[in-house]
Structure 1
Amino acid sequence: MDVKSAFLNGFIEEEVYVIQPPGFESARFLDRVYKLRKALYGLKQAPRAWYARLKSFPLKSGFVMGSIDKTLFLLSHGGDTLIVQIYVDDIIFGGSSHALVSSFAEQMSREFEMSLIGELQFFLRLQIKQGLEGIFVHQAKYTRDILKKFNMDDSKPMTTPMSTNTALDADEDGEALTSVPDDDQAGHSVRGLCLCARYQASPRTSHRQAVKPIFRYLKFTPELGLWYSSGSSLSLRGFSDADHTGCRIDRKSTSGTCQLLGTSLISWSSRKQASIALSTTEAEYVAAASCCSQLLWMKATLSDFGLRFGKIPLLVDSTSAISVAKNPVLHSRTKHIDMRFHFLRDHYEKGDIDLIHVVSANQLADIFTKPLEFDAFTRLRGELGVEGVDNALIKGEIESQWTGLIALLV
């Protein structure tokens, strides 16, 4: 559901005055101002005031706020559960009881002016297809709109977004993109990908050329999305990898991490490290620390849904980095590592995570650190659960058939 005029619903605690707006002047009190009781759009207190008003309503109705995510509200009623997630003025909600869901919708409509959109199909430029076998999330419409906007809808498709030989730098002597012609606007997408985004402050013609293959890859794969199977196990695990000194300018490494719940990819990151790693071990160790941090946050967040986890597997393809985390004795390989990254070792000793070695060929996070050849790229992409819409639906039907067959056999 969507809240109409959301920011006008919030009551403000501070004293705020505004001049009499045109058309609402008082002929008797021309020298006076209005004191605000509610927020206005553009007022810095508006988002906070709206959230305070919105938060109080579900809490009065028996909901429990998420301990980590303060925009998550949960209600248990008998054996049923209702989950509500708020994003500014958009509210996504669902539950195990149709009566519970309908009751919540009616209560919210009485309290606020709402528009009940119905089953979730679009959200934040994401398209969602729901079924008994699972959920498929993709951006086919948005992809086509972007390609059309930048006049790349007739471009020749590419099978990967970037060549393995691509090496960008600041190109300070190159032609600056001060303005982009209407018939060739791809330069605006310099901010779109991790590597290209590093030069968005001062994009050059060479950066625009590097962005075009990304558009051509989107042309090749508009229907790809993430498949979340309803039959997937709820086991949390993470993968981390690093491209040591991958940046040709400052020689900093790139960390790549991803986290999966069962077979479903739910979080990922590709980020240049803040400091220069003096060894591959250090680069891998820093990446693993970043992945560990995300896993711990997700573990705490999922506890609000009643999911409890013991040791979370963190798969790393560097035996040296694993040894550093398991060995409390500092040696030459660790003395240069910033102490803030050693919380990885601390949480390993506490039993929060379990560091496991994985061969490089099976390191799923490798796809987030550097460009790959077509075969490796498509294999890892598939293992991360990225499917075409048709394949996902067929896969869901097969899983459903197997579930039914197993039930009959049992």
Structure 2
Amino acid sequence: MDSCDPVDTPIVDRLKLNEDPLGIPVDQTHFRSMVNALMYLTASRPDLVFAVCMCARYHASPTKNLLEALKRVFWYLRGTINWGLWYLKNTTMALTAYTDADHAGCQDTQRSTSGSARFLGEKLVSWSSKKQKSTAISTTEAEYIAMSGCCHSLSKHIDIRHHFIHEQVKKCVVELYFVTTDYQLADIFTKALPRELFKFLLTRLGMKSVTPKTLKRLQEGEKE
């Protein structure tokens, strides 16, 4: 990978992976080791989460096409090796969560993908991208499942999810707001996005280039 050309997104725009039953098989151990290395990085690189989780779904029977998709994540890392999250000391304690779902995004099971991003003040502290455990029959149901997973990961049925959310709103524990597609920060965890939108959401998530020069500038700005 040292000589690879960098790319500006970890996954091709609108790409939907599948089991690729007619594809050329590749070494399973090698594929899994690559996935595991990237999984470790997702703890501090939210921009990798969707692409890595998509590839990880097929670790049991990887093919050449799936390996190429996985390699692209490394090509992306090649050009963004200095990127990371920046946390200021004066972060407020208000908790805000964004959640979204890509209805029937999985080509093999027709299950949806839930994505969520949780902020403490303006700083991202938690994120996830998960294939839903049941098949949602509509976008609305998929989003209910995603929203419930963001608030209560142990809910199992759509009616329970609905009443749980309704109860929390009624008790004023949470407040719900509609977010337009262009500003839905959880969208980056549910599907492969165009380059411009991907980069825009990255800045909204708080990711920055943290080269020594940039770190010095950010630290000086924090002191002002």
1:173 deviation in Å? 2.4
1:392 deviation in Å? 4.5
Identify the residue that residue 151 of structure 2 maps to in structure 1. Answer: 292
Q: Distance in 1 between matches of 2:215 and 2:201?
A: 16
Identify the residue that residue 298 of structure 1 maps to in structure 2. Answer: none
RMSD in angstroms over aligned alpha carbons?
A: 2.0
Aligned residue among 321, 339, 344 for 2:165: 344
1:260 deviation in Å? 0.6
Is residue 238 of structure 1 aligned with residue 59 of structure 2?
no
2:86 aligned counterpart, secondary structure: strand
What amino acid is aligned across from residue 175 of structure 1 in structure 2? I
Return closer, same or farther for 1:186/1:274 CA change in 2, 3 Å cut-off: closer
Q: Distance in 2 between matches of 1:246 and 1:167?
A: 8
Q: Distance in 2 between matches of 1:212 and 1:231?
A: 38
Query: Any gaps of 5 or more consecutive residues in structure 2?
Result: 39-51
Aligned residue among 187, 205, 209 for 1:388: 209
1:395 deviation in Å? 2.6
1:227–1:392 contact (8 Å) kept in structure 2: no
1:207 deviation in Å? 1.0
Q: List per-residue Cα deviations over 1:129-168 (Å, max 9, x = no partner).
A: xxxxxxxxxxxxxxxxxxxxxxx12100000000114221
Aligned residue among 177, 182, 189 for 2:34: 189
What amino acid is aligned across from residue 55 of structure 2 in structure 1? C
Identify the residue that residue 259 of structure 1 maps to in structure 2. Answer: 118
Q: List per-residue Cα deviations over 1:231-273 (Å, max 9, x = no partner).
A: 2222111000111111111111100001011111110000011
Q: List per-residue Cα deviations over 1:176-212 (Å, max 9, x = no partner).
A: 22467xxxx5664245411001101111121111111
The alignment covers a number of residue pairs equal to 205
Is residue 201 of structure 1 aligned with residue 60 of structure 2?
yes
Q: How does 1:79-94 map to 2 (within 5 A)?
A: none
Q: Distance in 2 between matches of 1:203 and 1:230?
A: 44
Q: TM-score, normalised by structure 2?
A: 0.85
Runs of 4 or more, structure 1, over 3 Å off, are 185-188, 390-393
1:190–1:203 contact (8 Å) kept in structure 2: no
Is residue 282 of structure 1 aligned with residue 138 of structure 2?
no
Is residue 363 of structure 1 aligned with residue 212 of structure 2?
no
1:168–1:207 contact (8 Å) kept in structure 2: yes
Q: List per-residue Cα deviations over 1:274-319 (Å, max 9, x = no partner).
A: 111111111111111111227xxxxxxxxxxxxxxxxxxxxxxxxx
More strand by proportion, 1 or 2? 1
Q: TM-score, normalised by structure 1?
A: 0.47
1:377 deviation in Å? 0.7
Please say which structure displays the higher CA radius of gyration: 1
1:187–1:208 contact (8 Å) kept in structure 2: no
Identify the residue that residue 398 of structure 1 maps to in structure 2. Answer: 221
More helix by proportion, 1 or 2? 2
